[in-house]
Amino acid sequence: LGYFTFDPGFVATASCRSSITYLDGDKGILEYRGYPIEQLAESSTFTEVCYLLLHGELPNKDDLSKFDHTITTHTMLHEAMKRFYSGFRRDAHPMSTMVGVVGALSSFYHHGEDIHDPEHRKITAHRLIAKMPTIAAWSYRYANGQPMVYPKNSLDYSSNFLHMMFSMPTEEYTPDPLYVKALDLLLILHADHEQNASTSTVRLAGSSGANPFAALSAGIASLWGPAHGGANEAVIRMLQDIVDSDNDVAHYVARAKDKSDRFRLMGFGHRVYKNFDPRAVIIRKTCMDLLAKLGPDNEYQALFDTAHELEKIALADDYFVKRNLYPNVDFYSGIILLAMGIPLNMFTVIFAMARTVGWISQWNEMIADDDFRIGRPRQLYTGANTRDYVDIENR
């Protein structure tokens, strides 16, 4: 192999130095800037976590109120973007819309922008964090043929998103505080996760000096896949299938173990966590609390009970135990989103909204790093040896 190692899937390659997120997969530890995820989930808010990820320290009251104010000044999208939405198919998956819209924003923020100027990088981060809820909610409104709702800057981040999703010009809408809190928690838990596929994509795309909105759009595309952020949508489809099939959980577990079947238990397994995913523990509890508040006859209980049953069976099964496969962040999060009235195809969009701060913090860190250079993996060549070109008549 000469001077480089062969590492498909980057199982054992550190591609960068980073001081943002710490992850210990054996112990189930996740920390943002040194703060345990459990403490942030319990006590923080999403915009405070955004500040922490971007700046490295928790804000004081004044810092946070200035930061919140700055974010709200960037929540609007250029009016021309409204017309851009109408170029998409009505039934387009909102992730495809998001990839397009975020990429298209590079056309508004390109001239005169200098990625090597920290001040410009900061404004880029603010713009992206602020505009993602608007972009996300508008993809939903467009798909439903409903009028786009402008952001309401008197609302906090999560309330504002729910407002843009669900309010109608015909009646007053007040987001339910229970859902606002649950959404804020989900955003905190998804905000960063070191060098996962989408973050590495943003870094690699951005390492050529590309426009950050374009680099983020590449990250959103990567997140969409079912092995990554698309799993939250796939989990609910799987649970619904199980419920519809008279709860034949064992059959689905058997399918997941059968190597001739491509089916996998969605929301199970993780490249780094080999003991438990600390985010899944918090989300399961939040899900239980939320459903308890909705009462025993709530329509999501069957999905939760099935998920719980699946978890119990799988965790007692040799196949999953030997391979260290546990429920991950996506296993219970979808049930919370469904209960909030969020449609299935918006789940990964919400993941992208949360992860934006992680992507842009990592991009910023990369550009500011003294070792910053273009990302350029090598390969193990397995093709033909040198041979002479043969004229087409003689082949």
Q: Minimum distance between the CB of residue 276 and ligand CMC, rounded to whole angstroms?
A: 12
State yes or no: is 330 an active-site residue: yes
CB nearer to ligand CMC: give 94 or 229: 229
CB nearer to ligand CMC: give 192 or 365: 192
Q: Minimum distance between the CB of residue 3 and ligand CMC, rounded to whole angstroms?
A: 26
Residue at 2: amino acid letter: G
CB nearer to ligand CMC: give 133 or 267: 267
Site for ligand CMC in 74-133 (CB under 6 A): none
266 in contact with ligand CMC (CB under 6 A) = yes
Q: Minimum distance between the CB of residue 212 and ligand CMC, rounded to whole angstroms?
A: 21
Tell me how far apart the alpha carbons of residues 304 and 291 are, in angstroms, rounded to a whole number. Answer: 9
- CB of 367 within 8 A of CB of 204? no
Q: State both tokens at 68.
A: 């919140």
Per CB under 6 A, the list member of 267, 278, 334, 358 interacting with ligand CMC is 267
Q: How many chain residues interact with ligand CMC (CB under 6 A)? A: 20
Site for ligand CMC in 320-339 (CB under 6 A): 323, 325, 328-330
User: CB-based burial of residue 152 (10 Å sphere; 0-12 exposed, 13-18 middle, 19+ buried)?
Assistant: middle
CA dihedral 330, 335, 339, 341 (to 10 degrees): 50
Helices 46-55 and 177-189: angle between axes, nearest 10 degrees: 20
270 in contact with ligand CMC (CB under 6 A) = yes
Q: Minimum distance between the CB of residue 289 and ligand CMC, rounded to whole angstroms?
A: 22
- Cβ neighbours for 282, distance < 8 A, ≥ 6 positions apart: 37, 38, 41, 185, 189
292 in contact with ligand CMC (CB under 6 A) = no
CB nearer to ligand CMC: give 67 or 268: 268
CB nearer to ligand CMC: give 75 or 306: 306
C-alpha to C-alpha distances, 272 to 10, 106, 359, nearest whole angstrom:
11, 33, 19
237 in contact with ligand CMC (CB under 6 A) = no
CB nearer to ligand CMC: give 84 or 351: 351
If we measure between CA atoms, which residue out of 211, 4, 256 comes closest to residue 108?
211
If we measure between CA atoms, which residue out of 226, 233, 218, 228 comes closest to residue 197?
228
State yes or no: is 308 an active-site residue: no
C-alpha to C-alpha distances, 78 to 107, 135, 140, 372, nearest whole angstrom:
11, 11, 18, 32
CB nearer to ligand CMC: give 211 or 232: 232
Strand-pair partners of 31? 22, 36
Q: Minimum distance between the CB of residue 280 and ligand CMC, rounded to whole angstroms?
A: 9
CB nearer to ligand CMC: give 56 or 226: 226
Tell me how far apart the alpha carbons of residues 7 and 291 are, in angstroms, rounded to a whole number. Answer: 43
Sequence-distant contacts of 377-381: CB under 8 A, at least 24 apart: 378/4, 380/1, 380/6
* Catalytic one of 111, 270, 317, 318: 270
Q: Minimum distance between the CB of residue 231 and ligand CMC, rounded to whole angstroms?
A: 4
Please report where in the chains the tokens 């939405």 appear, as a residue: 85
219 in contact with ligand CMC (CB under 6 A) = no
Per CB under 6 A, the list member of 231, 236, 242, 349 interacting with ligand CMC is 231
If we measure between CA atoms, which residue out of 364, 333, 358 comes closest to residue 346?
333
Q: Minimum distance between the CB of residue 229 and ligand CMC, rounded to whole angstroms?
A: 4
- Ranked by CB distance to ligand CMC, the top (closest) residue is 269
Q: Minimum distance between the CB of residue 145 and ligand CMC, rounded to whole angstroms?
A: 31
Per CB under 6 A, the list member of 196, 217, 286, 306 interacting with ligand CMC is 196
207 in contact with ligand CMC (CB under 6 A) = no
Tell me how far apart the alpha carbons of residues 304 and 211 are, in angstroms, rounded to a whole number. Answer: 42
* Tally of CA atoms within 13 A in the half-sphere of 104 that contains its CB: 19
Per CB under 6 A, the list member of 110, 116, 271, 285 interacting with ligand CMC is 271
268 in contact with ligand CMC (CB under 6 A) = yes
* Catalytic one of 330, 369, 388, 391: 330
Active site residues: 270, 330
Residues that bind ligand CMC (CB under 6 A): 9, 196, 227-229, 231, 256, 264-271, 323, 325, 328-330
